[in-house]
Amino acid sequence: MEIKTWGWLIFPVLVGIMVIFSFGRLVAGPDQIWRKLWLNEGKVKAAEVEVAKLKNKLDRLKQVDVVGQQKLLAELGKAVPNQMQPMLLIGEMNQAASESGVVIEKYSIDNGEKQQDSKISIATGNADKLIVWVNDMERWLPMARIVNISYGEGRAEVIVEQVWKEFVVSGAKPEDELPETREKVRAVIDQMAGYRELTVRATGLPTDDGAVNPNPF
Amino acid sequence: MINLLVRDKGLVEIGQKYKGRVMAVTVVVAIVYLLAVATSAGWWLWVTGRNAAAIKERDSLIQQLGRLAATEAVVRQVAARAEIVEAALANPKLGPTMVQAQTAAQSGGLEVVGWKDGAVTVRGTDLTALENFGQNREVKSVKKISAGMWEQEVVWK
């Protein structure tokens, strides 16, 4: 056999070896380069989606009226303040007492972690006045919640709580979506229109008309 | 003695017979293979380029968002506070329930004399009115407190 006679076989053999060897590397081997290429495509798509989200968030943030948002925050804080306001609660109790004609005989306020429980003893005379007082109390800003009433023989023991909650740092990541709040905030502020604020004097202390319960302490 | 020359001659003839076909198939395989490799390499370059561009843009956007962190914090505070206020507004109120009980009592000529743990105590002289007041509700107790005067405690929630 002469090499010249079979020399033409070198090319097919080399191509065969190259295909078999690289097939093992590209498709079937431990490296699985095709699989890596496929995964990379997935990663790129995810990165592009993230970019689109970030762009959208950035556009929305650029349109935010910060002063307007701070005003909304202050408005919402009138309903649920970010700190305890015992003087306001006392003012609310007294104002409601003046308007309903009940007499607040004594009270104690316990500042809890999330709310402020007040135990109040009231001389009401009759249930009508008590009901007016309760309705008044449940229409104040900051909001007061009547937790329990024990009424009998013209006297009532009432537990009221003023709900408050501290501002919490959100800890949001850049990729976290910005909440859409416009509709909700508007609805909540509309609901708050049915409530009233305690008149605050220039001194910063709530008014205590004094007709029924002149001294809160 | 075996004559190998005859066998060699046969193989050469077979080789020559299939040479053209084998070469054609090899060329086709080589071209397809090279095209596939070139396409893969091109695809890899394209994907890598897109990835680099996306990461660069993402980093830039994150930096810009970082500069607007204070604005984002205010928006999130408003959202959180709105949720809190909404929940507080949705809390059940006792006033309307008491008004409802009082109205029902007064319509029957009864007097509300007590309220404890969601139960209202009414007093009256008309037993039928007391019965109507407690209809479809849980009656906790009925007491005769003096001649012609009864008290009834009804759960009112």
Rounded to an integer, what distance in angstroms lies between the CA atom of residue A66 and that of residue A14? 70
Rounded to an integer, what distance in angstroms lies between the CA atom of residue B155 and that of residue B157? 6
Residues of B in contact with A12 (CB under 8 A): 22-23, 25-26
Instruction: Write out pLDDT tens, residues B132-143.
Output: 998 888 888 898
Q: How confident is the model at residue A216 (pLDDT cuts 50, 70, 90)?
A: very low
pLDDT, position A118: 84
CA A186, distance to chain mean position in Å, is: 15
For range A195-204, the mean pLDDT: 64
Nearest to B79, CA basis, from A182, A78, A58: A182
Q: If you measure CA to CA, which chain A residue comes closest to B20?
A: A8
β-sheet bridge partners, residue A146:
A160
At B126, phi and psi to the nearest 5?
-100, 110
Residue with tokens 């046969």: B10
**Which of A1, A152, A165 has the CB atom closest to B84's CB atom?**
A165
Residue B55: CA count within 13 A, CB half-sphere = 9
Q: How confident is the model at residue A103 (pLDDT cuts 50, 70, 90)?
A: very high
CB-CB under 8 Å, B113 with A44: no
Residues of A in contact with B73 (CB under 8 A): 169-170
CB-CB under 8 Å, A51 with B72: no
Residue A204 pLDDT more than 70? no
Q: How far is CA B49 from CA A55, B52, B54, B56, in A?
A: 20, 5, 9, 11
Residue A119 pLDDT more than 60? yes
Query: Per DSSP, which regions of chain B are E strands?
Result: 111-116, 119-124, 139-146, 149-155
Percent of chain B scoring above 90 in pLDDT:
55
Q: How confident is the model at residue A113 (pLDDT cuts 50, 70, 90)?
A: low
Nearest to B131, CA basis, from B157, B104, B94: B104
Rounded to an integer, what distance in angstroms lies between the CA atom of residue A121 and that of residue A116? 16
**Contact between B153 and B139 (Cβ < 8 Å):** yes
pLDDT, position A111: 73
Residue A197 pLDDT more than 50? yes
pLDDT, position A210: 40
Rounded to an integer, what distance in angstroms lies between the CA atom of residue B60 and that of residue B66? 10
Query: Per DSSP, which regions of A84-154 are E strands?
Result: 103-111, 115-123, 140-141, 144-152
Residue B81 pLDDT more than 90? yes
Instruction: Write out pLDDT tens, residues B25-78.
Output: 999 999 998 898 888 888 888 988 999 999 999 999 999 999 999 999 999 999
- Please state whether beta strands A196-197 and A140-141 pair in parallel, antiparallel, or not at all (unpaired): parallel
Instruction: Among A2, A181, A190, pick the best mutation site for testing chain B contact (most B Cβ within 10 A).
Output: A181
Residue A217, both tokens: 């302490």
CA A21, distance to chain mean position in Å, is: 60
**Contact residues for A146 (Cβ-Cβ < 8 A; gap 6+):** A134, A137, A138, A158, A159, A160, B93, B94, B95
Lowest mean pLDDT among A19-28, A48-57, A64-73: A19-28
Element spanning A142, H or E: none
pLDDT, position A1: 54
End-to-end CA distance of chain A: 121
Rounded to an integer, what distance in angstroms lies between the CA atom of residue B79 and that of residue B41? 49
CA distance B9 to chain A (A): 9
**Contact residues for A106 (Cβ-Cβ < 8 A; gap 6+):** A120, A121
Number of Cβ pairs < 8 A linking chain A and chain B: 193
Rounded to an integer, what distance in angstroms lies between the CA atom of residue A30 and that of residue A69? 56
